[in-house]
Chains A and B, each alone.
Chain A
Amino acid sequence: MKKLIQIVFPVSAVLCGLALLSSCKSDPLSPGLEYMPDMYRGPAYETYGESPFNENGSAMKPVARTIPRFNAETLPFHETYPFPNTNEGYELAGVQVKNPYPVSPEFLEKGKKIYNNFCVHCHGEKGDGNGILVQRDKYAGVPSYYGASIKDLPEGKMYHTIYYGKNMMGSHAAQINFAERWEVIEYVKKLRNDGLGISSDSSAAKTDTTAAAAATASITK
């Protein structure tokens, strides 16, 4: 009995001590100890890092003598999209802006991927304007691609809307680039044709090559 007590007593005391010590948890708000912090926080400016070059803290600093893309003198040569964000620009775009790329099944496949990443939560999988945000009542007023109001929308207007946004739909120009915009527009047209019950092959086949050539001339990537 005495032996047992003699063993149990110190062992339990040590257990208590251990438990108390190891219960000090590391704090999630601090990254922890750093060994050679300058390896992590080097003197070079990193992506997203702050810098004194620009007023807004951005580290982007053009190399000397580069030609600015956006400036009054160079605008006519470098402007990527010539139509202004006005009602007139929208109408003009509807007539003049055309897809410069040939449409193939792979092109549509890429468009589907873009659509499912960037548009589907508002416009819905079938383009009926019933995306998850609308279903969950977080967002409203997304039109169906084959609804009466936009079922005849020309592709140029779609481009204009993706580029500048329209009413409640914001601009998506920063997220998807020139080629991707056309990929997704072709996919939207396919969704619309599916919704209207039109076979989509015919629309893919009748890409007007002359119009496309003209458009590439006016819109440079």
Chain B
Amino acid sequence: MQRISAKILLGVAVFLAVIFQANTLQAQDAAKLFKANCASCHKPTDQKLIGPGLKGIRSRWPDEAKLIAWIKNSTEFLKTGDAYANKLFEEYGRSVMPAQNLSDAEIIALIDWTDKGGDAPASAAGDGAAKADGAGAGAGATETSSDSYLYILIIVGFVLLVLINVLNSVKSSLESLVNEKKGIITEPEPIRTPTEKFRIWASNNKKIVAVISLFLVIWVLKQGWDGLMGIGVYQGYAPEQPIKFSHKLHAGDNQIACVYCHSGVEKSKHANIPSANVCMNCHMYIQEGPQYGKEEIGKIYAALDYNPETRTYGPNQKPIQWIRVHSLPDHAYFNHSQHVAVGKIECTSCHGPIDSMEVVQQHSPLTMGWCIDCHRKTEVDKDNKYYEELHKQFVNDPKYKKGDKFTIGSLGGLECSKCHY
């Protein structure tokens, strides 16, 4: 009896395993098929794209033969006068679902797969969360490294203080013990306030006091000087933006070229902040983010008065008010195309590692000294035909010494009027 039941169990297990394998194979195939043929217009969830979301499609099409006919050639099927299909066609603004060159078996696999909502997108979400954690940990690590020096100093100071107190009290009790043994009765010390003690100590140790006050004065001066030099320098400024747009996610992880969004950078003075229609090139499809879900991307839709359900734009459009990070004063002229298109300078040499920033931060000081420094050091691209004449002039100049570098400065990049209107 037992043997038989074991055999049955084994048989069932093998059967189940085979079925499961077949099922997963089918699911994979269906996922692939879906990606290749349907994904540009449908999602396997409730979400609408060009066509309706296909989750629970069986409940909408009780007759599978009709559904297969529809998918094979929707235009032909519409001609049969099917009421539901024609209503759907009107509802989707008469956009045509192209005929699909698939076998019945493939279509049934597709229907099975989409009916239950495709593969659960859990993996993607987990991925994002893990990454977010990683980023958090990374940021924390860098912070501690810059602050740890201070904390160590504070702790060392504290330990020294405690040690001194303990030593002092041990010493005085030892002294009084010794004195007692010797039979000397010392007069109890007069009680003094800490300030009195300090004054007495200071008058006994004039040299130490002098050295310390010198250090203090120097330190205060240095702080004051740094403070004054920092006025008008925004280095490190990283304001919170109205939409939590992450360069790390877009330009870093997804490797979108800077120029895709900052499309003026090679043509004009300004790099351009993209308008919301550029965001929509991708976010028409990507309606949920890994970290903030629909909330932050929803703000793009709100700015455009866009309804992702009907895919229509409303009349109440408002520009997104990004907060400006880099800003030169009005009296200075800076041109991106000169530096990026002609000078072939990478964005990162001025803006720092933007593609790993969650929030844009001003990386460089943008002071006049910073501009001049680079103009003094950087050599001009001599292959640029435009500068041939200038280079000749430079070499023929009587002041020219062999080995002098043909820098931006030699072009006139240090002249006040090049940068100041």
Contact = CB atoms under 8 A, between A and B. Distances in A.
A196 B302 CA distance: 43
Nearest to A44: B330
Interface residues of A, number: 65
A172 B257 CA distance: 14
Contacts of B322: 48
Given A32-B233, A48-B273, A8 B238 contact: no
- The A interface is mostly helix, strand or loop, or mixed, namely loop
A144 to B, nearest CB: 9
Given A14-B212, A23-B147, A168-B41, A28 B35 contact: no
A125 to B, nearest CB: 11
A32 B255 contact: no
A13 B159 CA distance: 11
B195 interface: no
Contact of B201 (A6, A16, A35, A171): A6
Contacts of B66: none
Nearest to B235: A32
Nearest to A40: B329
Report which residue of A116, A138, A172 has the largest number of chain B beta carbons within 10 angstroms of its beta carbon. Answer: A138
B254 A136 contact: yes
A12 B160 contact: yes
A22 interface: yes
Nearest to A132: B255
Contacts of B321: 50
Contacts of B164: 5, 8-9, 12
Contacts of B269: 47
Contacts, number: 160
B318 A133 contact: no
- The B interface is mostly helix, strand or loop, or mixed, namely loop
A174 B319 contact: no
A168 B40 CA distance: 7
Interface in B137-196: 147, 150, 153-154, 156-158, 160-161, 164, 167-168, 171
A29 B153 contact: no
Contacts of A39: 329-331
B281 interface: yes
Interface residues of B, number: 72
Nearest to A28: B238
B208 interface: yes
Contacts of B255: 121, 132
A34 B331 CA distance: 15
Contact of B150 (A22, A170, A176): A22
B167 A5 contact: yes
B124 interface: yes
B382 interface: no
Interface in B234-284: 234, 236-240, 253-257, 259-260, 263, 269-270, 273, 275, 277-278, 280-282, 284
Interface of A: 1, 5-16, 18-20, 22-23, 26, 28-36, 39-40, 42, 44, 46-48, 50, 56-58, 116-118, 120-121, 132-133, 136-143, 149, 165, 167-172, 174-176
16 contacts: A7-B208, A14-B212, A15-B157, A28-B236, A28-B361, A29-B238, A32-B237, A39-B330, A40-B232, A117-B259, A118-B257, A121-B257, A140-B40, A143-B40, A170-B282, A175-B263
Interface of B: 35, 38-41, 49-50, 98, 124, 147, 150, 153-154, 156-158, 160-161, 164, 167-168, 171, 201, 205, 208, 212, 215-216, 219, 223, 227, 230-234, 236-240, 253-257, 259-260, 263, 269-270, 273, 275, 277-278, 280-282, 284-286, 317-319, 321-322, 324, 327, 329-331, 361
| Minimum-distance CB pairs A-B, first 8 | A141-B40, A170-B281, A140-B39, A42-B330, A16-B157, A39-B329, A141-B39, A12-B160
